[in-house]
Amino acid sequence: MRRLLVHTLLLSFWVFSASLRGGPSEVITTIQEKTSWRPISKGESPDTFDSDTLSRHRPEHAKVFLEYGFSKLTTWRLADTQGRLVVLDLYEMIDPPAAYGIFTFLRKPTAEPVGDLGNMAAESLMELSFQQNRYYVSLKADDSIKPLRESLRGLARIVSQSLPSTFSLPPVADKLPEENRVPYSEKFFMGSAALGKFLPMEGNDPFGIETGAEAALARYQSEGAAATLLLIHYPTQQLAKKFLDAGYAQYSAQYPGQPVFYKRDGPMVVMVLASNSPELATALLDRVSYVSMVSWDPKVEPPSIRQVMLNIFIYCGIMLAITFAAGFVFGMIRILIKWLFPGKVFDRPENMEVIRLKLDHKE
């Protein structure tokens, strides 16, 4: 429920941000203005899919997309003057971490990185994909010839110009050590279905990712040694302790004989799996640590005793001034009324008397 609330708020924010700078509605317009690529049929509207219909387009990965936080898919089929065909898929995710997660999940091991495109991009033989802000973009060609691949890059850059560009790496993914990491092997998970594709295990969510945890995984190699590092950040330390014990027990039962090195640091669990080198595993554990961030705002700093006493005297002075002003105004009104209406409002012994203490009279 908490993740749903957070995602709802983030979705509202990113939708507003997208409206300030382009968005999917401007993509096809920009492409037609700057290139020779056009929709296959003039005036053809793109295919759109929501969470209920996504399984028609990607039946094998629909559950994973929904797990990350899928919002909408817009698909265009484009052709140029030479008759070449390209399919452009524009996925709108709930937030930038969700788009980043989908990018790492779908990135092929053999894909080559592409610089200066989106927040990160990868290119394979007939496909170019990139992640930018909360969007995941895929361009697929019907041929692998070099000129078409160059056209894909040009199309991708035009699409990129129509999308917001702000992005920051999810904290748990940012904690993956860089030394000895296999290039582009990092994966970011927000649910058990995605994690299960790379770490198959029986049982329903053995590591408790569905509790609102986020996980990152990467492979490491060093002088013949290899290991897989799994980081899981839980909402609380109690959940981290519970699912470390449960996950370790299930992993050991399903992968007997495979050594597991692990530690828990606050709400973060660090596990080194499938390692053939205790030295590498220990080094990876030592490189990951959890640091609790505490922010300090001078505007809410507790005031000093001097300031407290000064505030008290100022308050008392203000109250005395208000009391004096009220008494003065009442006295002036009484004098004015006695002068204008003598004996009619005040000083009427037959109707009213003023209560006096008579301190000057002796009995």
The two structure tokens encoding residue 54: 């996504």
Contact between 144 and 126 under an 8 Å Cβ cutoff? The reply is yes
More confident residue, 80 or 9: 80
Q: CA dist 20 to 13, 164, 204, Å?
A: 11, 8, 42
Confidence band, pLDDT 50/70/90 cuts, at residue 19: very low
- Cα distances from 361 to residues 52, 354, 355, 358, in angstroms, run 94, 16, 14, 6
Q: Please tell me the pTM assigned to this model.
A: 0.72
Nearest-5° angle of CA 105, CA 109, CA 115? Answer: 85
Mean pLDDT, all residues of the chain: 84
Neighbours of 207 (CB within 10 A): 27
More confidently predicted of 224 and 293 = 224
Nearest 5°: CA angle at 240, between 236 and 242? Answer: 115
Let me know how long the chain is: 363
